Homo-oligomer: A and B are copies of this chain.
Amino acid sequence: MNLAMHKQASLNPLLWKLDAIADLSDQDKQAILDLPMSVKVFEADSDIVRDGDRPSECCLVLSGFTCRYKILSDGKRQIMGFYIPGDIPDLQSLHLKVMDHSIGALATSSIALIPHESLHAVLERHPGLDAVMWRDTLIDAAMFRAWMIGIGRRSAYQRIAHLLCELQMRLKAVGLAGENGYDLPVTQNELGDALGLSTVHVNRVLQDLRGEGLIVLRGGTLHIPDWEALQVAGDFDPAYLHLKR
């Protein structure tokens, strides 16, 4: 990647993200940079795409923090994933016309909207990109599976540790985490909805993790004093993220 492209990459977290999961040719990268998109800012707690929608564009997270969630008939919410800059949480809408869940902003987020037709056209002309995008949705599915395993078979303590590990890896891949910590603009209530736990229990387990010296979490900033130990506590194996390094 030459200097000019590097500069553009910093403007486009999508390239950072794709670079972390696959090898892209320069033509493919340029094609991405040439994609038409309109940028829109979403306030915290607002919906970007709603359950039942038939989107005609995909949303690329440029900054902020978003999540995939669904509201059940009894009002409970299950968050199924957190999406950070570089992610396209509704890439699937390219091939699944009706949304079966919602995408929402947890913090103020700027979102690039890319028309389906533009994406389809680019993917058709760049088979390599098509493969990478497919791969991205497959990694998304792998994260669902990891999440499922956590909810199904791990204790609350392990689950939270695992989630914090996953975010560390993913945020670092797009340059948004340091070696041992990151900003986590997520409430304990939202963590609970993500992990299938009550807010109260999340609070208590976080205190346990703090007590063990595994995390320092204050004011939306997470510090991980001992990365190895946290991985062990969360039974975390990053293989499922399918990152290149």
Contact = CB atoms under 8 A, between A and B. Distances in A.
A144 B141 CA distance: 7
A138 interface: yes
B134 A95 contact: yes
A41 interface: no
A217 interface: no
B138 A80 contact: no
Contact of A96 (B96, B152, B154, B242): B242
A100 B116 CA distance: 31
A6 interface: no
Contacts of A76: 153
A145 B96 CA distance: 14
Interface string A234-245: 010001101000
Give the number of times this chain occurs in the complex, counting copies.
2
B92 A138 contact: yes
Interface stretch (A124-132, A171-179, A183-191, A202-210): A124-132
Contacts of A78: 148-149, 152-153
B153 A100 contact: no
B145 A80 contact: yes
A140 interface: yes
A222 interface: no
Interface in A70-98: 70, 72-74, 76-78, 80, 92, 95-96, 98
Interface string A214-237: 000000000000000000000100
Nearest to A80: B145
4 nearest A-B residue pairs (beta carbon): A152-B196, A141-B141, A144-B144, A95-B135
